[in-house]
Structure 1
Amino acid sequence: MPAYHRHRNRQFDVLLHFPDQPVNLYQVRQWYGPLEQLSRQRSTAILCYEPETAEIIRTETSLPVLLIRGSADFGHVRDVHRPKVILYPNQNYTNFGILGLNTCQHAFICHGESDKIYMASNWMKVFNYDLVAGQAAKDRLSRRLFGYDVEARTIEIGRPQIDVEYSSPFFLDKSRTTILYAPTWEGGRTSMRYGSVASHGVALTEAILADRNYRLIYRPHPRTGIVLSEQRVADERIRGLISAANATDASAGHLVDDSPFGWQLSVADLMITDISAVAYDWLTTAKPLIVTQPEETSAVVDPTSFIADLELVPSGDAGRIVSIVQRALTDPAQLEQMQRWCSYYYGDTSPGASMARFIDAVERMIAERDTWVGVDHPVADDLDRVGQVVG
């Protein structure tokens, strides 16, 4: 396709590696803004393997999009695009192949800060660097990973997404307090089953919609219901409740939201979510937060996380969510608690600080790579062998 051929022979300093299907686009969308700012000083592109994914991304960002056939084109990436840094927003097994390229730095950036178990897995050891949000992430890695030099292998960048300007696609007046309910999905295994759509969602939605002081923005995870049918049924029920409430009172302005994430952080007054990366995005605002208690008893709750410091809402209390919201909005102790945890997880969140640290981290990695290549280290990557094994 001409859209991809025009970038085929270009060199790029930085690539974001995203080999996934469209269902996982939420992992890369939040990096558009930071990468677009980075591209003002470093040539930057997004590397895709799936045509459908590439076509969607191409309509959503000004960044060049590269489309390859997977391992068959790794040599082209090495010899023509010649990246100096490759960034990884997830721990997809498909990352393994391109990691054989030793002429560049490989850095894990994840798709959101959290205390989920994958944030300190042994997979971290395959990257040159982990660009972490702050001290909380470094402490987590120190506790969980054996033989991992946290100080040498991590760079703190805060959360650069908070320094991107987002415009709201909706006009929401201030006549009501706006609550963002952003539950996660049910997870692929029971230890990751944090989602509250089936356990809490319907009851808390009914309670909020019944109170004219509140507006509800319902933002379900894109993967909601793909594993458990009861999650899908509950999601449909919540959507129906919101539609009915708006039909009764059009001025309420309740929303079912699937727009790009970012503007919600400034528009909403409080968020309800699960043990999820979105809770950590919200933490950057230091505004009131309510987190649900997982129904699944095997779901891991890190006792050292800020979420463990909160009073998690069990499903039996979902119907009294309004009183829980009122307390969270007015209790000085809870508000101070959020400020303290924000600093621990993200460090300096003053305007522009996180974006500057992200760009500085990329520049540092490029400088280190250029110095290494400049002393004439032999290039002995594994791309050809990986192409035979994985391709």
Structure 2
Amino acid sequence: MVDRVSTPAAGRSAATSTTEQISDPETAVTPAFGRGGHDALEPARRVRRWWNRRRAHHRLARLPAYRRHSHRQFDVLLHFPDLPVNLYQVRQWYGPLEYLSRQRSVAVLCYEPETAEIVRAETSLPVVLIRGAADLNHVRKVHRPKVILYPNQNYTNFGILGLNSCQHAFICHGESDKIYMASNWMKVFNYDLVAGPAAKDRLRRRLFDYDVDARTIEIGRPQIDVEYSAPIMPDRHRTTILYAPTWEGGRTSMRYGSVASHGIPMVESLLGDPSFRLIYRPHPRTGIAVAEHGACDLKIRQMIEAANAADPQAGHLIDNTAFGWHLTGADLMITDVSAVAYDWLTTAKPLVVTQPAEDSAVIDPTTFLADLPLLNADQAHDIVAVVRRALTDPEQIAKMRNWSAYYYGDTTPGASLNRFTQAVERMIAERDEWVHRKHPVPKELARIGRVVA
């Protein structure tokens, strides 16, 4: 059995404001400027941001924490060029990567100084800070990674994907049936480290001319083998309900979030029943694209604070810690069409999923979500009855067990973490064999030189 990695939840909270409206190619919404005075100031703002970023790079490069790693070779790099607003995509990988670092040299590769400082404070992993494309040759020649892991589909990935002396693997930031999980982006990576059979079937259905068996490796969900410290809950006789809605999405086809459509009536009903404790864990980007979601999120927080003031023993919680302890700490989860529903699926415990209020939001009819009775917005005030039924319905409980096996395979303790480390070792072995192989070169091309730099 694999030793579990201990991860303190409190030290891994969302360290940046959810109102940071920084553009990210995968998830964020780019603001539209009109002909008023704001766009006239934009060039000056960009120059100021560029200058501040450059100064921060120079300042951090002189710190011992970065200097000691600037010329080290690393077997594995986690590539994260983003600003702090998307750090939720990385935090969930700290534990598995810290475990991997027991046998391989592992580091987090950052481009943004602010991001690098937060990551350095949150994990024991070394942090390598580069300026971007200008330093990629340094990464190739000095750090010489054998495997680079990608938790998102950021456009900035494509610069470093040009390195042909290492394996490139997509690990994502959670299993789900969202459309980006089977987009054509998958073809740019050497491997897609998938959770289980469901992910492979999804790729077969949606991707043309993609060899799923050759290009994917099943790893389960390594995060379930990481131990997280949890807050102390008073009044343990209450049933603990986790409400973890996703955000509103960067475009309408991905508008799965329920905070504005379901959130307030559901929370009001659950807080009004003394048999329940509520953990509210909204997505860190809630309200960034649609102001109504931000306003409803604020209202829900106020409702929870008022309920706790009226009954401190209730122990309702507004949570922003790293996801993990919730899997054992909660009895049932309410969420949307999102990756967190699939994390919860590893437990096979009762689950309630909302029906997106946005008609154009895509739901794959071949997924496990289609096998659940989705909760419409007009049913939100009946959530107490829905929850009680889900907690006791033997048919739904059996379905969750079957779906858990289909999506994740073996979820016994240690199995996923073992598969993840074995997948990385396999990629390293394949890379090493290829790099050291004598590649035949046609005589006509011999003057070009070595095939591998």
TM-score (norm 2): 0.83
1:113 partner letter: E
Q: What is residue 371 of structure 1 aligned with on the other side?
A: 433
Residue equivalent to 2:401: 339
User: Deviations for 1:135-174, whole angstroms, at most 9, x for unmatched residues?
Assistant: 0000000000000000000000000000111110343442
**Partner residue of 2:103?**
41
Q: Which amino acid aligns with 1:11?
A: Q
Q: d(CA) in 2 for partners of 1:55 and 1:260?
A: 18
Offset at 1:379?
4.9
CA-CA distance at 1:261 after TM superposition:
1.1
Partner of 1:150: 212
**Unaligned stretches of 5+ residues in structure 2:** 1-59, 440-449
TM-score normalised according to structure 1 size: 0.96
Alignment of 1:1-391 (within 5 A): 1=60, 2=63, 3-377=65-439, 378-379=450-451
Q: Which digits, 9 at most, give the CA deviation of each residue in 1:327-377, with x for residues without a partner?
A: 000010010000000000000000100000000000000000000001145
Query: Partner of 1:387 in structure 2?
Result: none
| Distance in 1, Cα, partners of 2:234 & 2:226 | 20
Q: In the alignment, which residue of structure 2 is the partner of 1:388?
A: none
- Structure 1 pair 379/346, CA: closer, same or farther in 2 (3 Å)? same
- Going from structure 1 to structure 2, the CA distance change for 1:102 and 1:261 (only over 3 Å counts) comes to same
* Contact 2:435 2:452 (8 Å CA) reproduced: no
Question: Whole-Å Cα distance in 2 between the matches of residues 135 and 172 of structure 1?
Answer: 40
Q: One-letter code of the match for 2:189?
A: F
Q: Secondary structure at the match of 2:228?
A: coil
CA distance in 1, matches of 2:154, 2:197: 25
- Maintained 8 Å contact 1:190/1:299: yes
CA spacing shift, 1:379–1:104, aligned 2, 3 Å: farther
CA deviation after TM superposition for structure 1 residue 380, in Å = 6.0
CA gap of 1:370–1:215, structure 2 versus 1, over 3 A, is: same
**8 A contact 2:73–2:142 mirrored in 1:** yes
Superposition deviation, residue 180 in structure 1 = 0.3
The residue type equivalent to 1:337 in the other structure is: K
Query: What SS does the corresponding residue of 2:168 show, helix, strand or coil?
Result: strand
Between the aligned partners of 2:328 and 2:217, the Cα distance in structure 1 is 27
1:259, CA displacement in angstroms?
A: 1.0
**Residue 208 of structure 1, CA deviation:** 0.1
Contact kept? 1:269, 1:287, Cα under 8 Å: yes
The RMSD of aligned alpha carbons is 0.9
Question: What is the alpha-carbon distance in structure 2 between the residues aligned to residue 62 and residue 163 of structure 1?
Answer: 18
The residue type equivalent to 1:277 in the other structure is A
Which residue identity does 2:333 align to in structure 1?
M
Query: How far apart, CA to CA, are the structure 1 residues paired with 2:382 and 2:108?
Result: 45
> How has the CA–CA distance of structure 1 residues 262 and 144 changed in structure 2, closer, same or farther, with 3 Å as cutoff?
same
Distance 2:158 2:452 in 1: 16
Report SS of the residue matched to 1:96: helix
Question: For the Cα contact (< 8 Å) 1:103–1:379, is it kept in 2?
Answer: no
CA offset at residue 47 of structure 1?
Answer: 0.2
1:82-134 alpha-carbon deviations (Å, 9 max, x no partner): 00000000000000000000000000000000000000000000000000000
* Equivalent position of 1:384 in the other structure: none
Q: CA deviation at 1:6?
A: 1.0
Contact 1:133–1:158, Cα closer than 8 Å, also in 2: yes
One-letter amino acid of the counterpart of residue 263, structure 1: W
Distance 2:236 2:167 in 1: 47
Unaligned stretches of 5+ residues in structure 1: 382-391
Kindly indicate whether the alpha-carbon contact (under 8 Å) linking 1:102 and 1:379 is maintained by their aligned counterparts in 2.
no
- Following TM superposition, the consecutive aligned residue runs of length 4 or more in structure 1 with deviations greater than 2 angstroms are 169-173, 376-381
Q: Distance in 2 between matches of 1:228 and 1:380?
A: 49
- Describe the SS at the equivalent of 2:333: strand
> Which has the higher Rg, Structure 1 or Structure 2?
2
Q: Note the alpha carbon deviations across 1:301-320, whole angstroms, 9 max, x for none.
A: 00011001100000000001
- Corresponding letter in the other structure for 1:200: H
Q: Provide the secondary structure at the position in 1 that maps to 2:70.
A: coil
